[in-house]
Amino acid sequence: MDVRLTLEKRIEAEIKSYDGIMGIYLDDLRGTVIQIKADETFETASAIKTWILACLFWEAENGRACLEDQIEYKKEHWVDGSGVLGALEPGALLRVKDAATFMMIVSDNIATNMMIDYLGLDRINQCIRRLGSMDTVLHNPIHFDQYERLGTSTPRDYASIFVRLVKGELISPEADRQMVEILKKQQYQSMITKDFPPYFMDSDNTDDVIISVASKSGSMDACRNDGGIVFTPYGHYVIVMFHKEFSDAMYYPAHPATMFGARVSRLILDQYLALEGRFYPALKG
């Protein structure tokens, strides 16, 4: 039996009874990539915010934006949903970098609209293509009463951002480092980390956090997504899981997409740790 098929078979067996479609892209950054429906198109939901962040740093790197600029929260930026800026009144001023940080770590929808306004929708899509994500589009700002979708992409496109980011090859080594630090503070990691051993992720139990994640998730009625970089003592790997066509549109912690995604994520972690930094044993000879 070809051992390189084993992990894919285990993943496929894990999701066989799932009421939906899961697209998966995994890269152990040592030459092994696992793909399941990696080129299918999915709604991104808030995962598109990772591209917006990347475009901000791209524009700043090229002198067309400044992280220290101040931008105003305007009435037209208001939208319901995740985030904290809805507790403020329009007129508040934020640094561009602070708005981008809110957009990522608490998935703030108002901050996202502020960033789209600051950068420009067309410029963001041009930048997305420059970054090599040819199957990714930001369709509009976030206004749920006006638009049914936010962005579309593929698991492969999303993973490519994290692969280049962790290598310091997306924007520049310093810009990529800053983006990773923001992504590590992201507070919605339930799919990737839900089944991870809590002991390894809590510095109260150990002298340091043994496993950490830099990621960005996204959820809308028609999708549940997560993707990012998992850092371990043996190295790091990239994992992306996109979901669509499930029957339950409700939002709750035990949603099947979250549960099945978490099982796949734990399966990958266990394999990676058992093989000390690989998805498959190193080939001999």
Can you tell me the distance from the alpha carbon of 284 to that of 51, in angstroms, rounded to the nearest whole number? 39
Tell whether 112 and 183 lie within a shared domain: no
Tell whether 137 and 246 lie within a shared domain: no
Cα angle value 92/93/97 (rounded, 5°): 130
Q: Are 37 and 155 in contact (CB under 8 A)?
A: yes
**Domain limit, last residue, from 131, 153, 175:** 153
Determine phi and psi for 240, rounding to 5 degrees. -135, 135
Tell whether 115 and 168 lie within a shared domain: no
pLDDT (tens, 9 = 90+) of the chain, 285 residues, equals 455 568 888 999 999 999 999 999 999 999 999 999 999 999 999 999 999 999 999 999 999 999 999 999 999 999 988 889 999 999 999 999 999 999 999 999 999 999 999 999 999 999 999 999 999 999 999 998 888 889 999 999 999 999 999 999 999 999 999 999 999 999 887 799 999 998 887 756 556 668 999 999 999 998 999 999 999 999 999 999 999 999 999 989 899 999 999 999 999 999 999 999 999 887 665
For residue 63, give its domain range: 43-153
Tell whether 203 and 91 lie within a shared domain: no
Of 191, 215, 213, 186, residue with least CA distance to 108 = 186
Tell whether 11 and 35 lie within a shared domain: yes
**Domain limit, last residue, from 130, 153, 176:** 153
Q: Count up the domains in the chain and report the number.
A: 2
Beta bridge mates, 42: 153
Chain centroid to CA 7: how far? 23
- State the pLDDT at residue 204: 63
Report which residue type is found at 88.
L
- CATH number reported for the structural domain that contains residue 60 in this entry: 3.40.710.10
Q: Are 181 and 165 in contact (CB under 8 A)?
A: no
DSSP codes joined into one string, 247-279: S-----TT-HHHHHHHHHHHHHHHHHHHTTS-S
Tell whether 162 and 135 lie within a shared domain: no
| Rounded (to 5) percent helix, strand, coil in the chain | 40, 20, 40
Tell whether 102 and 122 lie within a shared domain: yes
> What is the enclosing helix (H) or strand (E) of 182?
helix 173-184
Tell whether 3 and 57 lie within a shared domain: no
Tell whether 279 and 147 lie within a shared domain: no
- State the pLDDT at residue 284: 60
Tell whether 127 and 50 lie within a shared domain: yes
**Domain limit, last residue, from 153, 181, 203:** 153
Tell whether 80 and 185 lie within a shared domain: no
Tell whether 200 and 278 lie within a shared domain: yes
- State the pLDDT at residue 1: 44
